[in-house]
Structure 1
């Protein structure tokens, strides 16, 4: 959100519209992260289900948007790679591309961390994650 100064011509309605648009974009990124996480767990792991703390993907989506905000073409030129870490090693589960027609200029490595709960049939994830950004150009 841009800063508001005395001489600014921004109205409260334009600020709210900008926040709503940002929130809508974050929701789309969050849904996409959830979708690729589900497919990655289903494809590469042997768990029957997975549990993610409520706001983890929401925070991750906002962080992805923040990491892309100062890059050329923003999220449209970003590739998000989703990894799962068990504490000893990391496994690549999936990748997310916002716009496949754009050349990738930013790679974001999002690593979710496994919580070693006692249930062997369900993957439990911690609320913490690690995010790294690599700029290609």
Structure 2
């Protein structure tokens, strides 16, 4: 069991916290879009921001065990995290635009379904960015 955890623990932790982050994103979006009746793109960006805060904290602490020893290292790490999450926000916004505006999937349940499929694509892209670009060189960054 320990051998499996050592091999796949990071992916399992990422998937668990990814589900939590995705729920924050979807619930926030649904509440703001359908409950408060905000424009779907405004609701989407607000939900993105909330979920990125959750994602940064959980990825840093429980997924990639990121440690830094200087404020400079912290700012580099968090800047990279938000930068790459910003790239996936653009994917997210484009996906929502195509689904809701162009394909006219604009009832509350249709918007929710577009958002769920959209999140699958975004989670995969976020893992790639986090694993190989953001948290890969924490020790090198910390020593700068």
Higher relative contact order (CA 8 A, sep 6+): 2
Instruction: Pick the structure with more strand per residue.
Output: 1
TM, length-normalised to structure 1: 0.40
Instruction: Pick the structure with more helix per residue.
Output: 2
